[in-house]
A and B are shown apart, each in its own frame.
Chain A
């Protein structure tokens, strides 16, 4: 790890195929900056993503990376981190990836509290499959598969995380580059599972949850008297359906990550050339 690492060192020479103006550019840049600002370099970083627009991130970020199957990025990240706690593990997902097909993994990853960071690029639409309703789409949002709207309330990922025992719950807006970077940085520095839901507008298929909409409505919690260490404060903000917040919404200062609780600190890749020295003891257990 070198100290003169810059966020551009996390870029590959591949030009992103995201639509011009896509919120994911800002989301990714913030992730790179936050990684660089926390002293990480590409060779000690492992980025995992699933499928969809968010899943492409591993192609554009230079690091050890895995682009897996839809919705399963979190378990991959958990396995990687436990097998080598020295790595900085960051998982990227989308709202479909994380809150629909991967919803089960999401709540279990939250409650497992492995020391890693999960960034969800939430655009409230399925982009890469060309504009179907996502789990965070508004109830009346008209799409190709929901001509009259999904007619069901959107998932509240922050509430899911709080209910599952989340120890770091935050939200940011990809266009507010500085705040987004700060928030992801705090998530990385958190001892445990750092979860950031990022408003990352889709300029092609979502004409409701636009940059203008978020710019006009977003409230930065750091400019209010919100206390992220106060569970009730967090609950109020998360259940407030009338506002869009950014900032650290909840942080459990007593969080002890799963890997630390389990005494995992050494990489698991070094093994002997043969059976362990005391291996015959394993046989003798069966006397």
Chain B
């Protein structure tokens, strides 16, 4: 029996694939199993292939692999789409009575379970529940106690009334009984339950939760895949903490509203994806020039332009680093896992306010839609620390006024960080502008003041470089000759790839970097290795370019840009291949 089970339901968008998958994932999580989910979806509301995949184990799982053990196929295309991942012994649950599925051929060695999903669902009260019948069938295949599924159904349907809940439970039972009675087979996919209590959440939910924990009070955004679920999460929840979510008329308005709220003293955030970041770039420079603390989240998807809106990519790194005209001090923080989406969001708010700069929080589609189980203490709220930086109030404002009692919001302090006061504070009235300004915020073209203010803003980055820990996470064998470096959501797949490589006696040191700017100095680590491979989901190797720039060393690259996240076994194979290539000559 494999340690992990890979399960999927696939069909057309509008078939309820997402909710069915979520019900099963929650049932597994409540049964004390670790879960990692991934989604294939197209940019359309109805029709088109869509799938929800679950990988589950009693151990922590945080990636996907090229294997599918149980597939609920609501359409024939679902089988075709997943043929590469199906293997001998894979179980395919389908409804042979369905007109379009009457000619389905189950490949040799695979187990086809023809279950009359629709008629059983009708027996339970309605054809719409055929997915739930299929879930019941899957429970039988995996010997998973159906009571755990019942809890999930309770949670999912309780708002629709007890009758609906009972009908769904009945549908699941009919599916389970049908498989038990009609098929005489030992499926070999038993899932073991435990007493553990896990929570199941995706990267965007973790990010939104982090924002609330960090005291975010104002969020403005414009709907865009895959960032929208951050706004959906915060809507309703932020209000109960005295905050507000505003759906703006466009991304330009979204970032300007957030800027206004931040000037008013609220911890504020906006989130979008690449195409929206382009629009926000206009105001991005203003945020920096006016020294406004603001968290700008980019959940990357495939670009450029509208690219592939529902597909994975990490192609916006250069934009986060260099976007905007002129020279703009900023921080770029990129969480490397779903739990890090929580913690790095909190850090982003602290950095923004401590240094009064924009902070790019860069996530990616794979992380934003994938769900993972965690022990709840991973999100220990007692660990959350909030640092608002140099906020000046009515009692201390005189220290920061000049001889004319004018407040100096851009006072050139040695560390580059000026005092900050919220509007409404007596004696603090001051001008803020995107124009170059003096210490009072008034426009200037004075050459000396220009240099003083540019240096002051840049000094914040230098101060932060010294004061903060720009560290990295490390896995594998620290003495290995092979060093793999990645950023963003590749960490999970790469961690698991270490196991596959170990089976082939390939020792690897793996470094996962959550900071793009500033970033840790990896010169020593890179110099110590014979082979250095940088893994990222883009075609040119934007992070590899940066590391090469830092170390003047040529690095090998593994790039994936077909719109699909790295899978652990695939990544291991890519790294093995890359090691077989001769190392490039180091730069002179």
Q: Take A266-B242, A283-B379, A286-B200 as given contacts and tell me if A65 and B432 are in contact as well, using a CB distance cutoff of 8 Å.
A: yes
A270 to chain B, nearest CB (A): 8
Residues of A contacting B212 with CB < 8 Å? 275-276, 279, 282
Say yes or no: B428 contacts A43, CB within 8 Å: yes
Say yes or no: A280 contacts B242, CB within 8 Å: no
CA distance A78 to B259 in the complex (A): 10
CA distance A62 to B405 in the complex (A): 13
**Any B CB within 8 A of the CB of A72:** yes
Say yes or no: B384 contacts A69, CB within 8 Å: no
Residues of A contacting B246 with CB < 8 Å? 78-79, 82
Interface residues of B in 540-570 (CB under 8 A from A): none
CA distance A108 to B247 in the complex (A): 11
Say yes or no: A68 contacts B264, CB within 8 Å: no
User: Contact size class for A?
Assistant: 35 or more
**Chain B interface secondary structure, helix, strand, loop or mixed?**
mixed
**Any A CB within 8 A of the CB of B449:** no
Number of chain B residues whose Cβ lies closer than 8 Å to a Cβ of chain A: 70
Say yes or no: A104 contacts B249, CB within 8 Å: yes
Residues of B contacting A264 with CB < 8 Å? 244
Say yes or no: B220 contacts A66, CB within 8 Å: no
B423 to chain A, nearest CB (A): 4
Q: How many A-B residue pairs have CB under 8 A?
A: 216
**Any B CB within 8 A of the CB of A177:** no
Q: Take A66-B290, A267-B264 as given contacts and tell me if A79 and B257 are in contact as well, using a CB distance cutoff of 8 Å.
A: yes
A44 to chain B, nearest CB (A): 6
Q: Take A274-B382, A274-B385, A283-B379 as given contacts and tell me if A80 and B283 are in contact as well, using a CB distance cutoff of 8 Å.
A: no
CA distance A42 to B421 in the complex (A): 14
Say yes or no: B253 contacts A69, CB within 8 Å: no
A78 to chain B, nearest CB (A): 5
Q: Take A66-B263, A67-B433 as given contacts and tell me if A84 and B257 are in contact as well, using a CB distance cutoff of 8 Å.
A: no
**Any A CB within 8 A of the CB of B286:** yes
Mask, A32-49, CB within 8 Å of B = 1, is 000000000011111010
Residues of B contacting A105 with CB < 8 Å? 249, 252-253
Say yes or no: B253 contacts A72, CB within 8 Å: yes
Say yes or no: A267 contacts B253, CB within 8 Å: no
A231 to chain B, nearest CB (A): 25
**Any A CB within 8 A of the CB of B430:** yes
**Any A CB within 8 A of the CB of B506:** no
B439 to chain A, nearest CB (A): 15
CA distance A180 to B403 in the complex (A): 36
Interface residues of A in 268-285 (CB under 8 A from B): 268-269, 271-276, 279-280, 282-284
Q: Take A76-B257, A80-B423, A275-B213 as given contacts and tell me if A268 and B264 are in contact as well, using a CB distance cutoff of 8 Å.
A: yes
Interface residues of A in 250-270 (CB under 8 A from B): 262-264, 266-269
Residues of B contacting A282 with CB < 8 Å? 209, 212-213, 237, 381
**Any B CB within 8 A of the CB of A77:** yes
- Which 4 A-B residue pairs are closest in the complex by CB-CB distance? A79-B260, A269-B265, A271-B215, A79-B257
Give the B-binding residues of A (Cβ under 8 A). 12, 14, 42-46, 48, 58-59, 62-69, 72, 74-84, 86-87, 104-105, 108, 262-264, 266-269, 271-276, 279-280, 282-284, 286-287
Q: A283-B379, A283-B381 are in contact. List 11 more A-B contacts (CB 8 A).
A: A14-B442, A67-B432, A67-B433, A79-B218, A82-B261, A108-B253, A268-B217, A273-B386, A280-B376, A280-B381, A282-B212
